[in-house]
Amino acid sequence: MLRYSLKRLLSLIVSLAVASVVIFAVIEVAPGDPASFMLGVNAQEDTLAALRAELGLDVPKVQRYFDWIGGLLVGDFGTSYTYRTPVAQMIADRMWVSLPLALYALALSTLIAFPAGIYAAARRGKPGDVAVMGATQLGVAVPNFWFAMMLVLIFAINLRWFGAGGFAGWDKGVWAGIHSLTLPAIALALPQAAILARVMRSALLDILGEDFMRTARAKGLTRRQALWRHGVRNALIPVLTILGLQFSFLLAGSIIIEQVFFLPGLGRLVFQAISSRDLIVVESVVMLLVFAVIMVNFLVDLAYALVDPRLRDRT
**275 part of the interface to another protein, by CB under 8 A:** yes
Q: What CA dihedral angle connects 84, 90, 91 and 97, to 10 degrees?
A: -150
Q: What is the largest CA-CA distance in the chain?
A: 86
Applying CB under 8 A, among 43, 99, 133, 205 the residue interacting with another protein is: 43
Applying CB under 8 A, among 12, 16, 27, 39 the residue interacting with another protein is: 39
**CA separation for the pair 92, 264 (Å, rounded):** 12
**85 part of the interface to another protein, by CB under 8 A:** yes
**31 part of the interface to another protein, by CB under 8 A:** yes
**CA separation for the pair 124, 171 (Å, rounded):** 48
**CA separation for the pair 297, 49 (Å, rounded):** 44
- CB of residue 179 to another protein, shortest distance in Å: 13
Nearest to 87 by CA among 294, 310, 282, 308: 282
Nearest to 303 by CA among 249, 250, 242, 261: 242
- CB of residue 140 to another protein, shortest distance in Å: 22
**182 part of the interface to another protein, by CB under 8 A:** no
What is the DSSP secondary-structure string of 171-204?
GG-HHHHHHHHHHHHHHHHHHHHHHHHHHHHHHH
Q: For another protein, which is the closer residue by CB, 38 or 135?
A: 38
Applying CB under 8 A, among 166, 224, 306, 315 the residue interacting with another protein is: 166
Nearest to 102 by CA among 303, 297, 266: 266
**153 part of the interface to another protein, by CB under 8 A:** yes
**Binding pattern for the stretch 205-244 against another protein, x by CB under 8 A and - elsewhere:** ----------------------------------------
**96 part of the interface to another protein, by CB under 8 A:** no
The residue ranges that bind another protein (CB under 8 A) are 30-34, 36-44, 46-47, 50-51, 54, 82-85, 90, 93-94, 149, 152-153, 156-157, 160, 163-167, 169, 259-262, 264-265, 268-269, 271-272, 274-277
